[in-house]
Amino acid sequence: MLAAAIQLSSGEDREQNLRRAEALIREAAAAGARLIVMPEKWPCLGSDRAMAASAEGLDGPLVRRLGELAGELEIDLFAGSLVERRPDGALANTALHFSPQGKLIATYSKIHMFDVEVDGRSYRESALVRPGDQPVISAAGPFAVGITICYDLRFPELYRLLAAAGAELFVVPSAFTYPTTRDHWEVLVRARAIENQCFVVAANQVGGHGAGLRSGGRSLIVDPWGVVVAQAPDRECFVLAQLDKGQLVEVRKRLPTLANRRPEAYRQPTVAAR
């Protein structure tokens, strides 16, 4: 299955973001991609005010347009994430999966909030959106797909839970900051692939956004052995790689770390007295 990671430099102009995203999706599909992953918050990335103003429900015009696009191109479209406005008015950072028939078949709301300080700047994602509380596995072609978003990448317990439940491929729409992309991004993506023996398609934002935000690009596709099979340059583009289910089966057969787990022994450790 040929997969693509779309790398965007989204700002606060929603229509411009949509035009650029659709052009790259169409190019990737024309190149043969049947599974396409977009980055985090691509419809609007900037100030909390702008992102809140851009939010819409899952029955809104953007979601309908994405479904139509997936159906027209006959692709599994993991449409990154958008700021979802729920019926009660609360906002969530929600990833979407559209089938090749154009149906919205899975949604996942980001569990881990990016409430941190990086390079002298404070980020408080929880001031904008409410965290999710439900891991999600979807299906695309021959793969069971664990859906995650950006900062989730730093929480290996989520990925192990997904792998233990059957995930064979992780998608990671992201807007990793510039400094954390340079220092941590590839290490984390490869680690999640290696320890869970899964493919990972990690689509990152790149360049400057609204409100002084800056992302580091370098979108990746990594195989279950941890080898980087595609990496994007630092510009808007897409990268392609073939995902071979047979390779995953072979890796898990030769080095059966998932099968060798002992969950019955995973409990709170005994702390020896000093």
Q: Catalytic positions, please?
A: 40, 110, 150
Helix axis angle, 14-30 relative to 61-73, nearest 10°?
A: 10
Give per-residue burial for 200-229: e unless 16+ CB within 10 Å, then b.
bbbbbbbbebbeebbbbbbbbbbbbbbebb
Placement of tokens 């881990």 in the chain:
112
How many CB atoms within 10 Å of residue 140? Answer: 26
Q: What is the DSSP letter of 270?
A: P
Kindly give the pairing relationship between strand 76-85 and strand 35-37. Answer: parallel
Placement of tokens 């787990």 in the chain:
261
The side-by-side arrangement of strands in the sheet containing 237-242 is 104-109, 91-98, 76-85, 35-37, 2-7, 237-242
